Every structure is written in structure tokens, then in C-alpha cells.
Structure 1
Amino acid sequence: MTDPQWVAPGTGGPAEPQGTTPGVHPAHQAVPTAQPMTAPQPPPGPGMATHGQQPWGGHPAMEFRPGIIPLRPLNLGDLYGAVIKAIRGNVAATMGLAFVTTLIFLVPTTALGAWVASKDSLDIELDPSSASDPVPLAGALGSLVPSLGTSASAVLLTGFVAFVISQAVMGRKVTAGQTWEGTRARLLPLVGATLVTGLAILLALAVILVLPVIAVVSAATSYDNSGLVGAILFAVLAGLVAVLLVLFLSTRLAFVGVAVVLEKVGVGQGVARSWRLTSGSQFWRVFGIRLLTSFIVGLAAQIVAFPLGLIGGVGAVATGDPENLYVFQAIVAGLTGLLTGALTTPFTAGVDALLYVDQRIRREGFDVQLITAAQADAAGQAPGATAAR
């Protein structure tokens, strides 16, 4: 069941007062004063916890924590710890749905990949005058097909995990059925948002790389290969620019899917929301945390993939037929995608969802809305999912 509080604040609010930091909600600004101040506290209720710091005149500061995070700007430890708590507390709605969704997509794509890899007719030759050096084009394509299923399942898992995180922030546990009911109406807009953002990035890359590629091909096919070195250097520089552009756009568009699911906005509005939430100096925070998360998840995926790849290679050699090697590679790619999708995708999607919450807290005072909603839940004024235990 979707929380009614997950609605983007309207525009046209009051201007920020002088002396505040741009892009940070006034509630989170530093207040210069020569006198000790008492920290404002929400009314007593479930979720109160002592944070252990004493910044206010020697009195212990309190934080309101109805669910997996304290309702304040989050640090890296808060983010990673909260994602792990959400996964452990909602196993069926996170890893369970991840396994089922990935399995649904990987069964047909892995079968297709194995079939493609078994086709010798797709092989091409390095030297047309020699039949001794075939390039295993079919095997390469076959091992890549399962990755399409993994990517497709990751799109849906973004919506599922975002819903689970939104409920866990409020201290609610959800089942796989509740997650499906809460997100199924937003899955098509989510797919559309993913396609739009992906095509936008590809179009930007095409604009940057098309001229360097044409220059290299023209120089390589010229009679004297004149200008080939310059064309290659031009292509390398364009490639570096393309990498930076991908990193920039993927960060600025990181919250499109989350906004589409949780705020129930259209694709265009989701792009605008993500662009705003990742603007200014917060861009580097979002970029750094997502880059670190990608490194951690990639390392974990390699740990899972290596033994599976080794087993697949040994199995192919044991059959005594080298042509089965690429078929085994396609099957192993499918199994690897299934395990990594179920184990790592919920963590990646959960970090993005919590980064979205964190940015709304920092920029929009979203913690105030969440505290109000949590108090309404505690008073029995708002319906919710099963309370966390």
C-alpha cells in the first residue's frame, strides 16, 4: 500500500532566508547563536532513540527513528546499514521478488543464448582465404543474451525495492504480495522512464562518437593512411569525454525511476525531479556513493561468477566436445545473472531509493513530513502495512 506522504512538494514555496546555504532546507541550516539552545523534539512516541551526541548545552540529542533510518540527513553508514536492515526485514519482498523476477526473464534469454551459441553457421573468419581461424561470433552473442534478461529484471526490481524502502522508512514490513499491489500500476511508467533515459544517454554518446569513428575509418581506408594517428587521438579524446558524459547523466538521472514509482509522476516530471535533487554540490555526494556502491556490488558479483565460470569451463572440457564450450558459457552466464540479480540488485536499488529520501530530507525538509506520518501511524490515523517488529 503506497504511503500518501510520498508526494513531491509543490513549487513556488517561500524564498530561502538570507544567510542560508543554497539547496539545503532551512530546517537543516546551522543557526549562529551565542546562547545554548534546546534541540526541538517531536512529541514522544515509538521510534525515539538516543543518538549519543551532546551538541545542545550538554543535553543528549534525540533522533526520531520510526523505521530503518533516523529522520535526519543520512551519512554513508546510515545508508548501507538501512539497506541491509530493509532486506533482512523484508526478505520475501526484496530477495524473493528479485529471484522470481530474474528467473522469469533469464529462463527464456538463457535458452535463446544457448541456442545461438550452438549455431556454427554464425561464425565468421579472420582471414577469408583461411578456414583455420574462425571467430566464435555465435558463442560471443550467446553469452551476452542472458545479460539482456538481467537488465530487464533490474528495471522492475528498482520499483519493487523503492516501495519496500519507502515502507521500511516508516517502520512497516511488507510482503511480496503487498509490494506487487503497491507497484504494479507504476511498472509501465517505470519501463518507459528507463527507456527514455537510456535512449537519451545513447543519443548523447552517438553525437560525441560519430565524428571520431568516421575520421578513423576514413583515415584507415585512405591510400596512404594519412592522418590515421591524429584520427586515433581524436577518437581516444572523444571516448574519454563520452565516459565522463555517461557518469554525469547516469548520476543526474539516478532518481527518475524512484520518483516515478513513489511520487506517481510521469516520465518528464520524474526526469525533472531527479535533475533537481542531484543539482549543485550534492551531485558529488550522489556520484561518489553510487560509484562506491557499484564497486562493492561488482566485486561481490565477480566472487559469485568466478567459481561458476570455472565449473562451466571444466564441464565443457569434460564432455570432450570443444564446441560445447560456448553453450556452457551461455548457461553459466544465465546462472550467474540469476544469483547476482537476487543477491546484489536489491542492495543497489535500495541505496538509490535511500539516496532519494536523503536528498529530499536535505533539500525539502522531508523529514518533517515523515515524522508527521509516523505519528499518525502510531495514533492509528493512517493505514499502513504490517508494523515492523
Structure 2
Amino acid sequence: MSNVHQEPPPGVPGPPGAAAGPGWWPGPQGWPPYAPPAPQPGVIPLRPLGPGDILRAVVAVLRRYGKVLYRQLLGVTVGALLVVPAYAVFADAALSGLIQDAQAHPDYTATGGQVAVLIAVVGGGYLLLFGFALAVQVIATATGTKLVQHAVLGRPVTARRLAAEARPYLWRVCGSFLLLALGIAAAMVVGLLPAAIAGLAGAGPFALLLLPLAALAAGTGMYAQVRLVLQMPVLILEDARPTAAFRRAWQLNEGAWWRSLGIPYLVGLIGSAAAQILMAPFLFLGFVLMFAFGGTGVDGTWEPGPASLIALSACLLAGLLVAVVVGAPLAPLTHALLYVDRRIRRESLDVALAQAAGLHPGPGQPAPAQPVPAQSGPPEAGAAQPPAGTPGPDRAGAARDGVAPEDAAPEDGAPDGAAPDLAKRPGPVVPAPGRSQDEPQDQSHGKPAAERPDPEANGPART
């Protein structure tokens, strides 16, 4: 018996109790029933996603839309590369007196004014780096999340259009970042403050008894942070307010804590390895410049000078900023894909996405035009003919070959600002082919609250 699966001929009834529609025919030699592959109009198949699907989708987004995505971060990167070295030169000039006095007198004690200048320079440097890091993260979160909205359907998008769609959410994303950070910090303070007060008061044994409370507070903060990883996708893709996004993300991510921890952590490890590779040339250049600008001491040995330290610091900061910018979109892309996966599992979003991609019509939408059989002679009188300009099935949904997604023009007939609507909850349920709307739907699509199985749990389907 051949192991090649074949579909049953049309009109042949299926086995007793088998569901109607494609895919019911049992496989040979007791194999499981044939399951047709899920459609994939974009970077993900329209079905519940496994960890491998999400990893491949992140790589596919960076490969197809990388130029559009990183163009949004170009301004912040150039500004940081110009401002940070300039601030390093300013810091060296401001602290030159303190450095010279400390080198001339090993037991020198800094004055109050010099200490104040040192604190101001160091604090300003930390605030500057924090501001650039926050700006990069906010822009990467808003643009990366909005980009997933187009990438799941394989739609082209330009850099100008992506920036226009992400711009209204920048301040909202920034406020949500700060609000989440303050909440986690408050939980940590509540847990650590009693033990710290007891330790400072001299009650050492009592402070040790309060350490489990501190560990509980730390665990609670970590649990809440992982449980709320979908907060930014909800905020942007559903156009929700920060407080409403917190509630919605908490409910949507119920029962998926370990997935929300493991998959972003794995993507982060890969991004960290790529960042180390990117930082290596800057580190090498920094050491070369440091030895080139170094001087000779009194005893004839080499010693670093102010110029060499500035060159090394500038190269290290430049490499760090480039690594941060390159790795910044990884977490937003992963969280947005996890959001799509959760809605596919709980709310049948794959059906709505298939309708948006034009793979099959929804309720009340016309079916695609059927091919007209070829006629050897002139058409009969009164025969219905398709209207002029009606596209055939071979043209419907055809991909444009040779055009990059970021450079392609919008689809004909589609509005310039149109984007797939992911804000509808839950996604509309479309009757399966061959069934009427009065018949019960598949269990995986008919109950939004039910979890649909992971397709990668038992390996790929046999065909």
C-alpha cells in the first residue's frame, strides 16, 4: 500500500461520524487524518503558533521590513552618536581640575564644590544615557508593534506611513513604561523596606525573618511583569488607554505565563549574542585609539592620557548604542506576535485575519468570481457573462513578484491609511466551507475562551 495520501473523490461519503469538509479522509495504515496546512499570507501561519513559529516570524520581519523598521531609529542613533562624545569632552573639561589635583597629590581631599561638580557630571551622564535608551525603546515598541499589524498579512508598508501610524502612541507608550517601572519599584520597596529598617535599627535576627517577605515581593514583581508583556500590543493595536490595557493584557495572558517568559527570553539571548558581535569592532577600535593617543610617563613607560580615555569611552558608548538600537525591536516584535497567538487561541483571530487577507469571504461578502468555461463558438443569446474588468481566480490575491514589501505601493482600491483591524474582540467566526450557518462550528473556532492546541506539541502533521 502506498504511503502517499490521496484526497477522496468528489461525492464519496466519509467514514461514519467523520466531519464534512476537506481533510476528513483517514490516512493509510492507521495514520491520523490529513490536516491541510494553515494559510500563511504573511510572516506567520494563521493557526496557533509554537515557539519555532514565533522565532521564524521575528527573523522574517527583520529580513523583509528591516530597512523600514530601523529607519525609524536612525534619528535617535545619529543624535546619540553626536551628543554622547560631546558630553564626554565636556565632562573631561569640567573635571580636569579635580583630576590634576588628584594626580599631583595622592592624599588630596576634594573640596565641596569639586564633589558637587563630580555628582552633577556623573548624574547628567546617567540621565543622558537613560533618555536615549528610553527614546530608542519607545520608538522601537511603537513602530515594531505597528509593523506586525502589516507583517502578519504580508502587506507592504513605507517608512513614512509606519511613522505616521506609530506617532500617536509614542507618549502613551512612554507613560506606560514609566508606570510599569514605578509599579514594580513600589512592590520591591514594600518588600525590602521593612527588612532594611530592621537592619538599620540593629534588629538583625528580626531583619532575617523579613527576608522571605522581600523574596515574595520580588517574585510578585517578576510575575506581574511577565504576565503583562502583552500590555504594549494591547495599548497600540487595540488603541486602549494604559489602565485598560493593563486589565486586558492580564486577562488575555491568563494561563500562558511560562510561554511569555521563555519565548522572549530565548529571543533576548539571540539578540544579546548579536549585540556582542556588533560591539566587538568598536571595542577593538577603542583600544587602538587609546594606545595611539596615550603618552609616555616620567619613567619612560606608556600611560593613558585624557585624549586616550575620551577616545576609548566614545568608542565603547558608540558600540553600546548601536547594539541597543539593533536589539531594541526584538522584544516588541516578540510581544506583538505573542499577542496575535493569544488572540488566535482564545478569540479565533486567524479567521478575521484570513478574511482581511482575502483568503475566503466572510459573512455578507461576495464569493470570488468563478472561471468561465471556454467556448468554441459565440456565446449563446441570453447567457450570463462576467462584467468587464472582473479579475479571475488566478489573479485574486496574487503576490507581486520582485517588489520589496517596504518599497511596494499600496494595494489598488485600498485606502492609503488602511491597516488590518486587530482591535475587534473577538474575531468574527466564519462558517467552514460546506456548512451552513445553522450548523455547529469547529470546537477550535466556536468557543473563544477555549484554548486551541499547540500545533508543535506533537510534531508536524503527516502528509
Give the structure-1-normalised TM-score: 0.71
1:339 counterpart = 2:322 = yes
Residues in 2 aligned to 1:235 and 1:122: alpha-carbon distance in whole angstroms? 43
Residues in 2 aligned to 1:329 and 1:142: alpha-carbon distance in whole angstroms? 19
Deviations 1:29-51 (A, max 9, x none): xxxx984445669xxxxxxxxxx
Residues in 1 aligned to 2:316 and 2:131: alpha-carbon distance in whole angstroms? 11
Residues in 2 aligned to 1:35 and 1:253: alpha-carbon distance in whole angstroms? 43
2:430 counterpart residue number:
none
Q: Does structure 2 retain, via aligned residues, the 8 Å contact 1:93–1:164?
A: no
1:181 counterpart residue number:
164
1:190 counterpart = 2:173 = yes
Q: CA deviation at 1:164?
A: 0.9
Written as runs of structure 1 = structure 2, the 5 A alignment for 1:161-310 is 161-219=144-202, 227-228=203-204, 231=207, 233=208, 240-241=215-216, 243-279=218-254, 281-310=255-284
**Secondary structure, counterpart of 2:44 in structure 1:** coil
Amino acid at match of 2:256: Q
Residues in 2 aligned to 1:371 and 1:240: alpha-carbon distance in whole angstroms? 46
Say which of 65, 69, 83 aligns to 1:90.
65
Say which of 59, 67, 89 aligns to 2:34.
59
1:131 counterpart = 2:102 = no
**Secondary structure, counterpart of 1:170 in structure 2:** coil
Residues in 1 aligned to 2:30 and 2:290: alpha-carbon distance in whole angstroms? 64
Q: CA deviation at 1:322?
A: 3.9
Residues in 2 aligned to 1:163 and 1:172: alpha-carbon distance in whole angstroms? 12
Residues in 2 aligned to 1:37 and 1:103: alpha-carbon distance in whole angstroms? 59
Residues in 2 aligned to 1:384 and 1:59: alpha-carbon distance in whole angstroms? 41
Residues in 2 aligned to 1:204 and 1:194: alpha-carbon distance in whole angstroms? 16
Q: CA deviation at 1:358?
A: 0.8
Amino acid at match of 1:208: G
Fraction of identical pairs, as percent: 27
Aligned-residue CA RMSD in angstroms? Answer: 3.9
Residues 1:302 and 1:210: Cα distance change in structure 2 (over 3 Å): farther
Amino acid at match of 1:294: G
Residues in 2 aligned to 1:113 and 1:186: alpha-carbon distance in whole angstroms? 33
- Which structure: greater helix fraction? 1
Residues 1:266 and 1:105: Cα distance change in structure 2 (over 3 Å): farther
**Secondary structure, counterpart of 2:38 in structure 1:** strand
Residues 1:118 and 1:301: Cα distance change in structure 2 (over 3 Å): farther
Written as runs of structure 1 = structure 2, the 5 A alignment for 1:15-164 is 35-37=17-19, 58-105=33-80, 107-109=82-84, 111-113=86-88, 115-116=90-91, 119-120=94-95, 130-131=107-108, 144=126, 145-164=128-147
Residues 1:293 and 1:35: Cα distance change in structure 2 (over 3 Å): same
Residues in 1 aligned to 2:30 and 2:317: alpha-carbon distance in whole angstroms? 53
**Secondary structure, counterpart of 2:42 in structure 1:** coil
Q: CA deviation at 1:352?
A: 1.3
Residues 1:38 and 1:88: Cα distance change in structure 2 (over 3 Å): farther
Q: CA deviation at 1:258?
A: 1.9
Residues in 2 aligned to 1:285 and 1:300: alpha-carbon distance in whole angstroms? 23
Bigger relative contact order, structure 1 or 2 (CA pairs below 8 A, ≥6 apart): 1
Q: CA deviation at 1:56?
A: 9.2
Residues in 2 aligned to 1:318 and 1:234: alpha-carbon distance in whole angstroms? 56
Task: Compare 354-363 and 208-217 and name the one that shifted more.
Answer: 208-217
Residues in 1 aligned to 2:33 and 2:310: alpha-carbon distance in whole angstroms? 67
Asked which structure has the greater CA Rg, the reply is: 2
Show structure 2 runs of 5+ residues with no match.
Answer: 1-14, 24-28, 295-303, 362-395, 399-411, 420-463
Residues in 1 aligned to 2:58 and 2:231: alpha-carbon distance in whole angstroms? 19
**Secondary structure, counterpart of 2:321 in structure 1:** helix
Residues 1:385 and 1:241: Cα distance change in structure 2 (over 3 Å): same
1:311 counterpart = 2:285 = yes
Q: CA deviation at 1:314?
A: 4.0
Q: CA deviation at 1:361?
A: 1.0
**Secondary structure, counterpart of 1:173 in structure 2:** coil
Q: CA deviation at 1:210?
A: 2.3
Amino acid at match of 1:115: F
**Secondary structure, counterpart of 1:59 in structure 2:** coil
Q: How many residues align?
A: 332
Amino acid at match of 1:312: G
Q: Does structure 2 retain, via aligned residues, the 8 Å contact 1:101–1:153?
A: yes
Task: Compare 308-317 and 198-207 and name the one that shifted more.
Answer: 308-317
Residues in 1 aligned to 2:215 and 2:266: alpha-carbon distance in whole angstroms? 20
Residues in 2 aligned to 1:276 and 1:348: alpha-carbon distance in whole angstroms? 21
Q: Does structure 1 retain, via aligned residues, the 8 Å contact 2:72–2:139?
A: no
**Secondary structure, counterpart of 1:91 in structure 2:** helix
Written as runs of structure 1 = structure 2, the 5 A alignment for 1:319-358 is 319-320=293-294, 321-324=304-307, 327-328=310-311, 330-358=313-341
Residues in 2 aligned to 1:78 and 1:71: alpha-carbon distance in whole angstroms? 11
Show structure 1 runs of 5+ residues with no match.
Answer: 1-32, 42-53, 220-226
